[in-house]
Amino acid sequence: MKRRKFIKTCCYSAIGIPLGATLLQSCEAIYYATTTKDANRLVVKKSEFWYTKKDKRVNRSFVLVKTESMEFPICLYKIDVDVYSASLLHCTHRGCELNVGGGIYGCPCHGSEFSVTGKVLEGPADRDLKTFKTEIDHENIFILRA
Ligand code: FES
């Protein structure tokens, strides 16, 4: 391989690996979890965070939760083993519904960005998202709404 071709190949590889990883992360399918209500809590089974494809277990990093009475969904994000963050996908700037992808919540209206724990990363929004405490038991995740 000639020097010029080698350098080009290395550059494309260096660009391609992070780009591919970002695209894979941002291409994670949107999935609405089956949710039940329990007093002031929404209940999501931990098993909603995985599915089987070709005999292999595939993990989801997040699921969306929405009931008939909710105008905006809650994103339940798996931060770590048995550690979840629940954020309302309602932009604090002017109220648009946020998109989930690439490990952040992005607003399609004016470009604000929020971390998966609901913190403002990029304006024009200047307030964090509404978040909810979560609790777990052996098989469920509880989102506390009160
Ligand atoms: S409504 Fe989200 S940035 Fe303006």
- Interval 48-97: pLDDT, tens: 999 998 999 999 999 999 988 899 999 999 999 999 999 999 999 999 99
Is 2 strand, coil or helix? Answer: coil
- Ligand 1 atom closest to the Cα of residue 124 is 3
Task: Return the DSSP state at 9.
Answer: H
Given a contact cutoff of 8 angstroms between Cβ atoms, the answer to whether 104 and 71 are in contact is no
How far apart, in whole angstroms, are the C-alpha atoms of residue 145 and residue 134?
9
Report the pLDDT value the prediction gives residue 98, as an integer from 0 to 100.
97
Q: How far is the CA of 44 from the centre of ligand 1 (A)?
A: 29
Neighbours of 70 (CB within 10 A): 14
Name the CATH superfamily, with its identifier, for domain 31-144: Rieske [2Fe-2S] iron-sulphur domain (2.102.10.10)
Q: Is the pLDDT of residue 5 over 70?
A: no
Amino acid 118 reads G
